[in-house]
Homo-oligomer: A and B are copies of this chain.
Amino acid sequence: MLITQVSKNKCFGGHVVKYEHHSEELGCDMKFNVFLPKESITQKVPAIFFLSGLTCTEDNFIQKSGAMAEASKHGIALIAPDTSPRGVSIEGDSDSWDFGTGAGFYVDATEEKWAKHYRMYSYIVKELHALVMQQLPINEERVSVMGHSMGGHGALTIYIKNPSQFKTASAFSPIANPSNCPWGQKALSGYLGSDKETWKAYDTVELLKSHLNQKLDILVDVGTADNFLAKELLIDQLEETVKQLGRETEFTIRRQEGYDHSYFFISTFIADHIQHHANLLKK
């Protein structure tokens, strides 16, 4: 399946390119943005997938994070997918901002109503990853994943389950334990059904307990003024699990005083995150 160019804007010596393509996994047409640094003209470059949060499209990160300033310094590509299938019509998919459209939660749905289209996990890990490696100048050996909020959840779970495919992960304000927060419970019960055992495959805290034989390297930033910190993100539960498992050396979890859940927070620390990825991608 070919990706086709929608728009192309020069930025920091490279280009931001919007592509569209038909997704077999999602059964619909999808768009995504890529920043290709100038180095990509002559060689394959490392890349970071950025998974966005609830209500976002492929545009939010590319327009608001300031990431290209830093990615261009390191010669790293950025890949920003959308957050759910688009243009499919399923009853109830637009009733709320935290389920359905704009809220795919990076899972493969098993509930019949959603199972045909809501396959964002396989879309990111298999289909989009393969399309990008085949058709863009990306070095498949040097790829990692980053995300925000729902996308932070996506980045951490995808990395833990696919460590040979993604060299590291980092997250801003991730939903770290979705089985135990309202956003997560709504999404996981809706897409996967009521058997909570099935939710564990998409829960960072649970995956840490079952994936013990790999050495992770994860950076997490969260703001202390984030309205969702206590109720939805459950960073305390993540920290406690990391300690209980003795995995402290695999995590850097930072609480940034006074910062909230917005892109003003992300933009402040995006340089640190890209540096974290560059350290591992450019080894």
Contact = CB atoms under 8 A, between A and B. Distances in A.
Given A12-B268, A69-B69, A258-B10, A263 B225 contact: no
Interface of A: 9-13, 16, 63-64, 66, 68-69, 223, 225, 258-260, 262-265, 267-268, 271
B66 A11 contact: no
13 contacts: A9-B265, A10-B223, A10-B225, A10-B260, A10-B265, A13-B268, A16-B264, A63-B63, A63-B64, A63-B263, A66-B66, A66-B69, A68-B268
A10 B63 contact: no
B9 A66 contact: no
Task: With a 10 A CB-CB cut-off, give which of A10, A16, A68, A265 has the most chain B CB atoms.
Answer: A10
A66 to B, nearest CB: 4
A9 B264 contact: yes
A229 to B, nearest CB: 14
A161 to B, nearest CB: 33
A10 B259 contact: yes
A271 to B, nearest CB: 8
Contact of A268 (B11, B63, B259, B271): B11
A226 to B, nearest CB: 11
Contacts of A259: 10
A168 to B, nearest CB: 23
Contacts of A262: 9
Given A10-B260, A66-B69, 5 more contacts: A10-B259, A12-B267, A12-B268, A69-B69, A69-B271
A265 B11 CA distance: 6
A264 B11 contact: yes
